Structure 1
Amino acid sequence: MAQILAGDVGGTKTVLAIYETEGAEFSEIRKQTFPSGKHERFEDLLLEFLGAGFSIDAATFGIAGPIKEQKCITTNLPWTIDAAKLAKLLNTSKIRLLNDLEAAAYGVLQLEHFHELNHQAIQQNGHIAVIAAGTGLGEAILFFDGKDFHAMPSEGGHCEFAPQNELEDQLLVFLRERFYGHVSIERILSGDGFGNLYDFLKSIDFAPVNPDIEAQMANTDRNAIISKSALTTDDALCNQAMKLFCRIYGAEAGNLALKCLPNGGVYIAGGIAPKILPALQSELFMEGFLDKGRMTHAIEKMPVRIVDNPEAPLLGAAHFASKLSGRN
């Protein structure tokens, strides 16, 4: 039996867990969530979690940022994470850093429950695509070789936003001015995206401002207030911001599907999707997904599923660590 360490390292929070594993079975020993921004170094957070006298056979961390030669400069944190240094700290050579979407992709393979959005889907074997809006936007592909899946990370969330209608054309102009040129799709499909969409709609006088909602936004996370108000009130600005978010999310998921033809399915992961599930289950997401002109037929039968388990990246990291340990 091996003892493994797994981590889901995000810009907002970091989740660490220790598991005992034998074969394909996992047993959780301890798990803890930390606010990422309250630690100057990842190593400090790690030692706080492990305490004295720890013994780890293998460890894998899914990290929000590009991995180069097993090093990562995190996207939304001032951390540099180096697998070689972690190997010395943890006293094991069996260390692997994964992009957070690599970890989430492997995690999807460990799950059984999803919310199906495409009711015309036909289940097939093949590649799988994972797209996840949270603090940022991540995209990954699970390449299927006929027997096993292999995760391929990307930084697709930083590709350009492509408008599909006149309102979205105006949105692009607004965001180009706000961000001085390049407008990545992450500027919309992320937590901060709700605020950007709301501000755009205000700028074109789409609807009157609700003073009560504006007051709430002044005192707490405005993005959370906008998304919550869109689901619980009839505020026109918040509702339209949510509609734009859902349609553009669907469109980008469709773009990813066209790029890798994932007949095994497109999975919508990340922290935002479960929180806005009713909105994503409306026709707007699939409308955006299928609006691909003459190539709609290439993706219209693909499963499109929402992942409602927030621990997918952690489970994916644990699965990978178990393989590293040699006990799986």
Structure 2
Amino acid sequence: MSLSKIKIKANSSEKLILAGDIGGTKTSLAFFIADKSSLVLKKTQTFPTASADTPVELIQQFLNQHKNPPVSQVCLGIAGPVFNGTATTTNLPWTISEQELKIRFNWNQVSLINDLVALAYAVPHLNGDQLLPINNLPHPNHGNIGVIAAGTGLGEALLIWDEGRYHPCASEGGHKDFAPRNEQEYRLHRYLTKAFGHASMERVVSGQGLVNIYNFLKEDLSYQEPRWLAERLSAEDAAAVISQSALNKQDPTCIKALELFIQLYGSEAGDIALQAMTFGGIYIGGGIGPKIAPALKNGGFMQGFLAKGRMRELLEKIPISLIHDSQAALKGAAAYAQHRP
């Protein structure tokens, strides 16, 4: 449906919302029509984030393509910390502020929120078709929730249950220290510290994290990389090549790399579950999860999740699901704008 055909009813409570999900690899923008009780997606478009010098350029491009409609509310989820209305992207040299957008586009209502907070706003509204159970436990309609999402980086957020409703809470927990669990992981920690100066969880649980793990194993195992793999790694997205080669059982070191990545992903999810007592569940978002869904179900994620010593029995009670809705963060950003006064 072209935007030129979208009509806002006169003298109604309907409003046009611009929602965005600005990530390190891709940026999705969308128009929603909302009133007090409904939210309807009308138009969406995805851009390579690196195709523009600033997010303002992408927003302007999207608006121009759809005849600059009268936007009532704007909410953008940003892959990075947001403080006092200003966001700085973690894996891109971008800074954007609510005030800048208000002046540039003559908007009155602009909100910048962390991209995982946007995703968290969508989580309570996801249904069975949008979720893939990892441990086949039902999600209750109450209790704290943890959201974790590996993609270009590692995002985390919480939904705190209080007085009958959820309160999303931003986090930059993906940048906490990577804590090795065994001798191999101590060697991985030393490898990362030497390469980056600081070994964070994002250095192992993200797209680049999978590449880091593979490169470490190649060195640690004195592995002679086959020519076909070296050529693909240099010509294509390395993380995608490693995960595909592992899923297709084409290379033993790629298989080991993906197995360790999934265990560490599960371990970090288990840490979130313990820190916030997330009896409402853990939800896995991000771009990587759906691409490796069969491997996530194979047991390595749960092995990492449950390996918490005396807390294993507690963690066995927490449901875990993979989000299978690529527009969930957009919908969450729109929901945030919808309920602003």
TM-score by length of 2: 0.91
Matches within 5 A, 1:232-243: 232-243=248-259
Alpha carbons of structure 1 residues 120 and 11: separation in structure 2 relative to 1, 3 Å? closer
Aligned to 1:10: 23
Report the Cα distance in structure 2 between the residues aligned to 1:235 and 1:26, rounded to whole angstroms.
46
Q: Deviations over 1:62-114 (max 9, x none)?
A: 00010010101211222211111212334332211100110011122221131
Aligned to 2:107: 92
The alpha carbon displacement at 1:193 in A equals: 1.3
Q: Which residue, out of 242, 246, 255, partners 2:262?
A: 246
Q: Report whether the alignment pairs 1:297 with 2:310.
A: no
Equivalent AA in structure 2 for residue 93 of structure 1: N
Report the Cα distance in structure 2 between the residues aligned to 1:84 and 1:215, rounded to whole angstroms.
46
Q: Which residue, out of 68, 79, 83, partners 1:64?
A: 79
Q: Which residue, out of 145, 158, 163, partners 1:141?
A: 158
SS in 2 for 1:276: helix
SS in 1 for 2:194: helix
Q: Deviations over 1:133-191 (max 9, x none)?
A: 000001100011131111100110000111112221221121111113x1000001111
SS in 1 for 2:181: coil
Aligned to 1:322: 338
Equivalent AA in structure 2 for residue 91 of structure 1: N
Q: Deviations over 1:237-280 (max 9, x none)?
A: 00000000000000000011110001100111100000000110
Alpha carbons of structure 1 residues 23 and 124: separation in structure 2 relative to 1, 3 Å? closer
Q: Which residue, out of 143, 156, 164, partners 2:173?
A: 156
Q: Which moved more, 1:114-123 or 1:58-67?
A: 114-123
Report the Cα distance in structure 2 between the residues aligned to 1:16 and 1:144, rounded to whole angstroms.
29
Q: Which residue, out of 173, 177, 183, partners 2:190?
A: 173
**2:202–2:209: 8 Å Cα contact kept in structure 1?**
yes
Report the Cα distance in structure 2 between the residues aligned to 1:121 and 1:169, rounded to whole angstroms.
36
Report the Cα distance in structure 1 between the residues aligned to 2:322 and 2:75, rounded to whole angstroms.
25
Query: RMSD across aligned C-alpha pairs, in angstroms?
Result: 1.5
Aligned to 1:109: 124
Q: Which residue, out of 287, 291, 298, partners 1:275?
A: 291
Report the Cα distance in structure 1 between the residues aligned to 2:36 and 2:137, rounded to whole angstroms.
37
The alpha carbon displacement at 1:284 in A equals: 0.7
SS in 2 for 1:33: strand
The alpha carbon displacement at 1:31 in A equals: 1.2
Aligned to 2:3: none
Equivalent AA in structure 2 for residue 154 of structure 1: S
Report the Cα distance in structure 1 between the residues aligned to 2:42 and 2:16, rounded to whole angstroms.
9
Q: Report whether the alignment pairs 1:132 with 2:145.
A: no
Matches within 5 A, 1:215-234: 215-234=231-250
Report the Cα distance in structure 2 between the residues aligned to 1:270 and 1:107, rounded to whole angstroms.
13
Alpha carbons of structure 1 residues 120 and 62: separation in structure 2 relative to 1, 3 Å? closer
Report the Cα distance in structure 1 between the residues aligned to 2:186 and 2:55, rounded to whole angstroms.
41
SS in 1 for 2:188: helix
Report the Cα distance in structure 2 between the residues aligned to 1:186 and 1:168, rounded to whole angstroms.
15
Unmatched runs of 5 consecutive residues or more in structure 2: 1-13
Report the Cα distance in structure 2 between the residues aligned to 1:120 and 1:209, rounded to whole angstroms.
41
Aligned to 2:59: 46
SS in 2 for 1:56: coil
Give the length in aligned residue pairs: 324
**1:207–1:236: 8 Å Cα contact kept in structure 2?**
no
Q: Which has the higher contact order (CA 8 A, sep 6+)?
A: 1
Report the Cα distance in structure 1 between the residues aligned to 2:196 and 2:274, rounded to whole angstroms.
28
**2:137–2:320: 8 Å Cα contact kept in structure 1?**
no
Report the Cα distance in structure 2 between the residues aligned to 1:160 and 1:206, rounded to whole angstroms.
27
Report the Cα distance in structure 2 between the residues aligned to 1:89 and 1:219, rounded to whole angstroms.
39
TM-score by length of 1: 0.94
**2:75–2:112: 8 Å Cα contact kept in structure 1?**
yes
Report the Cα distance in structure 2 between the residues aligned to 1:284 and 1:207, rounded to whole angstroms.
23
**1:120–1:300: 8 Å Cα contact kept in structure 2?**
no
Report the Cα distance in structure 1 between the residues aligned to 2:35 and 2:141, rounded to whole angstroms.
30
Report the Cα distance in structure 2 between the residues aligned to 1:176 and 1:117, rounded to whole angstroms.
32
